Structure 1
Protein backbone atom coordinates (compact mmCIF):
# COMPACT_ATOMS: atom_id res chain seq x y z
CA UNK A 1 0.00 0.00 0.00
CA UNK A 2 1.16 3.51 -0.77
CA UNK A 3 1.13 6.52 1.56
CA UNK A 4 -2.28 7.86 2.58
CA UNK A 5 -2.98 11.59 2.29
CA UNK A 6 -5.97 13.85 2.71
CA UNK A 7 -7.12 17.17 1.34
CA UNK A 8 -9.69 19.53 2.80
CA UNK A 9 -10.98 21.84 0.07
CA UNK A 10 -13.11 24.92 0.73
CA UNK A 11 -15.86 25.85 -1.74
CA UNK A 12 -17.11 29.46 -1.56
CA UNK A 13 -20.88 29.57 -1.22
CA UNK A 14 -20.84 25.75 -0.99
CA UNK A 15 -20.98 25.66 -4.79
CA UNK A 16 -19.06 23.03 -6.74
CA UNK A 17 -18.38 23.79 -10.37
CA UNK A 18 -17.07 20.34 -11.30
CA UNK A 19 -13.84 21.73 -12.75
CA UNK A 20 -11.64 19.61 -10.49
CA UNK A 21 -13.66 16.43 -10.98
CA UNK A 22 -12.09 15.64 -14.35
CA UNK A 23 -8.59 15.92 -12.87
CA UNK A 24 -9.54 13.72 -9.91
CA UNK A 25 -11.07 11.09 -12.21
CA UNK A 26 -7.95 11.16 -14.38
CA UNK A 27 -5.72 10.47 -11.36
CA UNK A 28 -7.94 7.54 -10.37
CA UNK A 29 -8.22 6.17 -13.93
CA UNK A 30 -4.43 6.24 -14.38
CA UNK A 31 -3.90 4.43 -11.07
CA UNK A 32 -1.99 7.30 -9.49
CA UNK A 33 -4.37 7.54 -6.53
CA UNK A 34 -7.23 5.52 -5.06
CA UNK A 35 -9.95 7.48 -3.27
CA UNK A 36 -10.63 5.87 0.10
CA UNK A 37 -13.10 8.39 1.55
CA UNK A 38 -14.92 11.38 0.18
CA UNK A 39 -17.02 13.44 2.59
CA UNK A 40 -18.56 16.88 2.36
CA UNK A 41 -20.14 19.42 4.70
CA UNK A 42 -21.64 22.87 4.58
CA UNK A 43 -21.14 25.51 7.26
CA UNK A 44 -24.22 27.70 7.53
CA UNK A 45 -23.82 31.41 8.17
CA UNK A 46 -24.73 30.78 11.82
CA UNK A 47 -21.88 28.25 12.10
CA UNK A 48 -24.04 25.10 11.99
CA UNK A 49 -22.21 22.25 10.27
CA UNK A 50 -24.31 19.96 8.08
CA UNK A 51 -22.82 16.84 6.51
CA UNK A 52 -23.78 16.48 2.86
CA UNK A 53 -24.31 13.30 0.90
CA UNK A 54 -22.34 12.88 -2.30
CA UNK A 55 -25.12 14.01 -4.58
CA UNK A 56 -26.26 16.80 -6.86
CA UNK A 57 -24.27 19.57 -5.15
CA UNK A 58 -24.94 22.26 -7.72
CA UNK A 59 -28.67 21.54 -8.11
CA UNK A 60 -28.55 20.90 -11.86
CA UNK A 61 -30.25 17.49 -11.59
CA UNK A 62 -27.08 15.52 -12.34
CA UNK A 63 -25.28 13.46 -9.69
CA UNK A 64 -21.96 15.30 -9.66
CA UNK A 65 -19.76 12.64 -8.05
CA UNK A 66 -21.71 9.45 -8.82
CA UNK A 67 -18.47 7.56 -9.45
CA UNK A 68 -17.52 8.13 -5.79
CA UNK A 69 -20.97 7.54 -4.28
CA UNK A 70 -20.58 5.24 -1.29
CA UNK A 71 -16.76 5.56 -1.17
CA UNK A 72 -16.17 5.17 2.53
CA UNK A 73 -13.28 3.23 4.05
CA UNK A 74 -14.22 4.18 7.59
CA UNK A 75 -10.88 5.93 8.13
CA UNK A 76 -12.59 9.34 8.17
CA UNK A 77 -15.27 9.93 10.76
CA UNK A 78 -17.65 12.73 11.71
CA UNK A 79 -14.99 14.33 13.94
CA UNK A 80 -12.64 14.62 10.95
CA UNK A 81 -15.39 16.25 8.92
CA UNK A 82 -16.21 18.65 11.77
CA UNK A 83 -12.55 19.61 12.14
CA UNK A 84 -12.33 20.32 8.42
CA UNK A 85 -15.52 22.37 8.59
CA UNK A 86 -13.86 24.41 11.34
CA UNK A 87 -11.22 25.52 8.84
CA UNK A 88 -13.62 27.26 6.48
CA UNK A 89 -15.71 30.43 6.50
CA UNK A 90 -19.42 30.31 7.35
CA UNK A 91 -21.57 30.00 4.23
CA UNK A 92 -19.01 27.84 2.47
CA UNK A 93 -18.65 24.11 1.92
CA UNK A 94 -15.79 21.71 2.47
CA UNK A 95 -14.88 18.46 0.75
CA UNK A 96 -12.61 16.05 2.56
CA UNK A 97 -10.80 13.52 0.38
CA UNK A 98 -8.71 10.67 1.79
CA UNK A 99 -6.62 8.90 -0.84
CA UNK A 100 -3.85 6.37 -1.28
CA UNK A 101 -0.87 7.33 -3.40
CA UNK A 102 -0.97 4.06 -5.34
CA UNK A 103 1.98 5.11 -7.51
CA UNK A 104 4.22 4.67 -4.45
CA UNK A 105 3.05 1.15 -3.53
CA UNK A 106 5.50 -0.77 -5.75
CA UNK A 107 8.39 1.48 -4.66
CA UNK A 108 7.60 1.03 -0.96
CA UNK A 109 7.25 -2.74 -1.41
CA UNK A 110 10.62 -2.94 -3.22
CA UNK A 111 12.34 -0.90 -0.52
CA UNK A 112 10.89 -3.08 2.25
CA UNK A 113 11.95 -6.21 0.39
CA UNK A 114 15.48 -4.78 0.29
CA UNK A 115 15.35 -4.18 4.05
CA UNK A 116 14.87 -0.42 3.86
CA UNK A 117 12.36 1.49 6.00
CA UNK A 118 10.91 4.96 5.64
CA UNK A 119 12.23 6.90 8.62
CA UNK A 120 10.56 10.22 7.89
CA UNK A 121 7.89 11.60 5.64
CA UNK A 122 6.38 15.03 5.22
CA UNK A 123 4.64 17.46 3.00
CA UNK A 124 5.32 21.08 2.12
CA UNK A 125 2.02 22.94 1.61
CA UNK A 126 1.56 24.08 -1.99
CA UNK A 127 0.92 27.68 -0.90
CA UNK A 128 4.30 27.76 0.87
CA UNK A 129 6.06 26.51 -2.27
CA UNK A 130 4.26 29.03 -4.49
CA UNK A 131 5.12 31.88 -2.10
CA UNK A 132 8.78 30.87 -1.99
CA UNK A 133 8.98 30.53 -5.78
CA UNK A 134 7.41 33.97 -6.20
CA UNK A 135 9.97 35.43 -3.78
CA UNK A 136 12.82 33.76 -5.65
CA UNK A 137 11.45 34.95 -8.99
CA UNK A 138 11.19 38.54 -7.75
CA UNK A 139 14.71 38.43 -6.32
CA UNK A 140 13.50 39.00 -2.76
CA UNK A 141 15.08 37.22 0.19
CA UNK A 142 13.25 34.06 1.15
Structure 2
Protein backbone atom coordinates (compact mmCIF):
# COMPACT_ATOMS: atom_id res chain seq x y z
CA UNK A 1 0.00 0.00 0.00
CA UNK A 2 1.42 3.43 -1.00
CA UNK A 3 0.19 5.02 2.24
CA UNK A 4 2.49 2.81 4.35
CA UNK A 5 5.45 5.09 3.62
CA UNK A 6 3.52 8.07 4.96
CA UNK A 7 2.02 6.65 8.14
CA UNK A 8 4.84 8.08 10.22
CA UNK A 9 4.82 11.52 8.55
CA UNK A 10 4.06 14.68 10.44
CA UNK A 11 1.83 17.46 9.15
CA UNK A 12 3.02 19.20 5.97
CA UNK A 13 2.91 22.99 5.71
CA UNK A 14 3.96 25.59 3.18
CA UNK A 15 5.19 29.15 3.37
CA UNK A 16 5.37 31.87 0.75
CA UNK A 17 7.88 34.51 1.84
CA UNK A 18 8.01 37.78 -0.13
CA UNK A 19 11.29 39.60 -0.69
CA UNK A 20 10.58 43.27 -1.51
CA UNK A 21 12.72 44.60 -4.33
CA UNK A 22 14.05 41.06 -4.91
CA UNK A 23 16.37 41.67 -1.94
CA UNK A 24 17.28 38.31 -0.40
CA UNK A 25 19.82 38.70 2.37
CA UNK A 26 19.96 35.04 3.37
CA UNK A 27 19.74 36.01 7.03
CA UNK A 28 17.13 33.34 7.78
CA UNK A 29 18.91 30.50 5.96
CA UNK A 30 21.14 29.42 8.88
CA UNK A 31 18.03 29.12 11.06
CA UNK A 32 16.25 27.06 8.41
CA UNK A 33 19.29 24.78 8.08
CA UNK A 34 19.36 24.40 11.88
CA UNK A 35 15.71 23.28 11.90
CA UNK A 36 16.53 20.64 9.29
CA UNK A 37 19.74 19.54 11.03
CA UNK A 38 17.90 19.09 14.33
CA UNK A 39 15.16 17.03 12.67
CA UNK A 40 12.41 19.50 13.50
CA UNK A 41 11.40 19.88 9.85
CA UNK A 42 12.15 18.15 6.57
CA UNK A 43 12.12 20.23 3.42
CA UNK A 44 10.02 18.61 0.72
CA UNK A 45 10.21 21.38 -1.87
CA UNK A 46 11.87 24.78 -2.17
CA UNK A 47 11.29 27.09 -5.11
CA UNK A 48 11.52 30.77 -6.01
CA UNK A 49 9.43 33.02 -8.20
CA UNK A 50 9.94 36.62 -9.36
CA UNK A 51 7.23 39.05 -10.40
CA UNK A 52 8.56 41.82 -12.62
CA UNK A 53 7.15 45.34 -12.45
CA UNK A 54 5.19 44.64 -15.65
CA UNK A 55 3.57 41.59 -13.97
CA UNK A 56 5.66 38.97 -15.80
CA UNK A 57 6.19 35.92 -13.57
CA UNK A 58 9.44 33.93 -13.76
CA UNK A 59 10.42 30.80 -11.85
CA UNK A 60 13.91 31.28 -10.43
CA UNK A 61 16.58 28.63 -10.05
CA UNK A 62 18.65 28.24 -6.90
CA UNK A 63 21.40 30.71 -7.65
CA UNK A 64 23.84 33.32 -6.47
CA UNK A 65 21.14 35.76 -5.34
CA UNK A 66 23.50 38.21 -3.64
CA UNK A 67 26.09 38.29 -6.45
CA UNK A 68 29.08 37.21 -4.34
CA UNK A 69 30.06 34.37 -6.69
CA UNK A 70 28.84 31.46 -4.56
CA UNK A 71 25.62 29.48 -4.81
CA UNK A 72 23.65 30.86 -1.87
CA UNK A 73 21.30 27.93 -1.49
CA UNK A 74 23.55 25.03 -2.47
CA UNK A 75 22.54 23.18 0.69
CA UNK A 76 18.98 23.04 -0.68
CA UNK A 77 19.90 21.99 -4.20
CA UNK A 78 17.86 18.92 -5.02
CA UNK A 79 15.21 19.74 -2.39
CA UNK A 80 12.50 19.32 -4.95
CA UNK A 81 9.78 16.73 -4.61
CA UNK A 82 7.76 18.14 -7.47
CA UNK A 83 5.04 19.22 -5.06
CA UNK A 84 5.46 22.85 -6.12
CA UNK A 85 4.51 23.14 -9.78
CA UNK A 86 4.07 25.99 -12.22
CA UNK A 87 0.48 26.55 -11.05
CA UNK A 88 1.66 26.86 -7.45
CA UNK A 89 4.36 29.35 -8.41
CA UNK A 90 1.74 31.33 -10.32
CA UNK A 91 -0.47 31.42 -7.22
CA UNK A 92 2.51 32.50 -5.11
CA UNK A 93 3.25 35.28 -7.59
CA UNK A 94 -0.38 36.35 -7.28
CA UNK A 95 0.09 37.29 -3.63
CA UNK A 96 3.32 39.25 -4.04
CA UNK A 97 3.73 42.80 -5.30
CA UNK A 98 5.24 43.54 -8.74
CA UNK A 99 9.01 44.03 -8.52
CA UNK A 100 9.35 41.47 -5.74
CA UNK A 101 10.26 37.81 -5.48
CA UNK A 102 9.16 35.02 -3.18
CA UNK A 103 10.44 31.77 -1.79
CA UNK A 104 7.98 28.88 -1.62
CA UNK A 105 8.83 26.29 1.00
CA UNK A 106 6.95 23.01 1.55
CA UNK A 107 8.05 21.18 4.68
CA UNK A 108 7.10 18.32 6.94
CA UNK A 109 6.84 18.99 10.67
CA UNK A 110 8.89 15.93 11.58
CA UNK A 111 8.68 16.78 15.28
CA UNK A 112 4.96 15.96 15.10
CA UNK A 113 5.34 12.69 13.15
CA UNK A 114 5.26 10.27 16.10
CA UNK A 115 2.27 12.07 17.64
CA UNK A 116 0.38 12.14 14.33
CA UNK A 117 1.17 8.46 13.69
CA UNK A 118 -0.09 7.47 17.16
CA UNK A 119 -3.33 9.34 16.56
CA UNK A 120 -3.79 7.66 13.15
CA UNK A 121 -3.13 4.22 14.65
CA UNK A 122 -5.84 4.98 17.20
CA UNK A 123 -8.30 5.79 14.43
CA UNK A 124 -8.21 9.56 14.80
CA UNK A 125 -8.13 11.80 11.77
CA UNK A 126 -7.33 15.46 11.32
CA UNK A 127 -10.49 17.33 10.37
CA UNK A 128 -9.27 20.93 10.54
CA UNK A 129 -6.02 22.80 10.68
CA UNK A 130 -4.93 26.40 10.44
CA UNK A 131 -2.54 29.14 11.42
CA UNK A 132 -3.09 32.24 13.50
CA UNK A 133 -1.10 35.14 11.98
CA UNK A 134 1.17 36.74 14.59
CA UNK A 135 -0.34 40.17 13.89
CA UNK A 136 -3.84 38.84 14.67
CA UNK A 137 -2.62 37.21 17.87
CA UNK A 138 -0.92 40.42 19.04
CA UNK A 139 -4.02 42.49 18.20
CA UNK A 140 -6.23 40.08 20.19
CA UNK A 141 -3.87 40.18 23.17
CA UNK A 142 -3.86 44.00 23.07
CA UNK A 143 -7.67 44.03 22.98
CA UNK A 144 -7.85 41.63 25.94
CA UNK A 145 -5.37 43.77 27.85
CA UNK A 146 -7.45 46.89 27.19
CA UNK A 147 -10.62 45.11 28.35
CA UNK A 148 -8.84 43.91 31.47
CA UNK A 149 -7.71 47.45 32.23
CA UNK A 150 -11.26 48.74 31.75
CA UNK A 151 -12.63 46.04 34.04
CA UNK A 152 -10.09 46.94 36.73
CA UNK A 153 -10.88 50.64 36.48
CA UNK A 154 -14.63 49.91 36.70
CA UNK A 155 -14.24 47.82 39.85
CA UNK A 156 -11.65 50.07 41.41
CA UNK A 157 -9.06 47.29 41.63
CA UNK A 158 -5.56 47.70 40.40
CA UNK A 159 -2.97 45.14 39.44
CA UNK A 160 0.09 45.01 41.67
What is the CA–CA distance in structure 2 between the aligned matches of 1:92 and 1:31, rounded to whole Å? 31
Post-superposition CA distance 1:52-72 (Å, at most 9, x none): 101111111121111101211
Partner secondary structure for residue 106 of structure 2: strand
Deviation of the 1:39 alpha carbon: 0.6
Q: CA deviation at 1:140?
A: 5.7
Q: CA deviation at 1:17?
A: 0.5
Query: What SS does structure 2 have at the residue aligned with 1:96?
Result: strand
d(CA) in 2 for partners of 1:135, 1:23: 32
Shift of 1:22: 1.2
Calculate the aligned-residue CA RMSD, in Å: 1.6
What secondary structure is seen at the aligned counterpart in 2 of 1:94? Answer: strand
> Aligned equivalents of 2:54 and 2:66: distance in 1?
21
Which ranges of structure 2 fall in alignment gaps of 5 or more residues?
Answer: 1-8, 149-160
Q: State the TM-score, normalized to the length of structure 2.
A: 0.81
The structure with the larger Rg is 2
Matched, 1:3 2:11: yes
The residue number in structure 2 matching 1:117 is 125
Aligned length: 140
* Residue 75 of structure 2 is aligned to residue 67 of structure 1: yes
Counterpart of 1:18? 26
Is residue 30 of structure 2 the alignment partner of residue 49 of structure 1? no
Gaps of 5+ in 1: none
Bigger Cα displacement from structure 2, 23-32 vs 121-130: 121-130
**1:129 lines up with 2:158 in the alignment:** no
Q: CA offset at residue 109 of structure 1?
A: 1.2
Q: Secondary structure at the match of 2:47?
A: strand
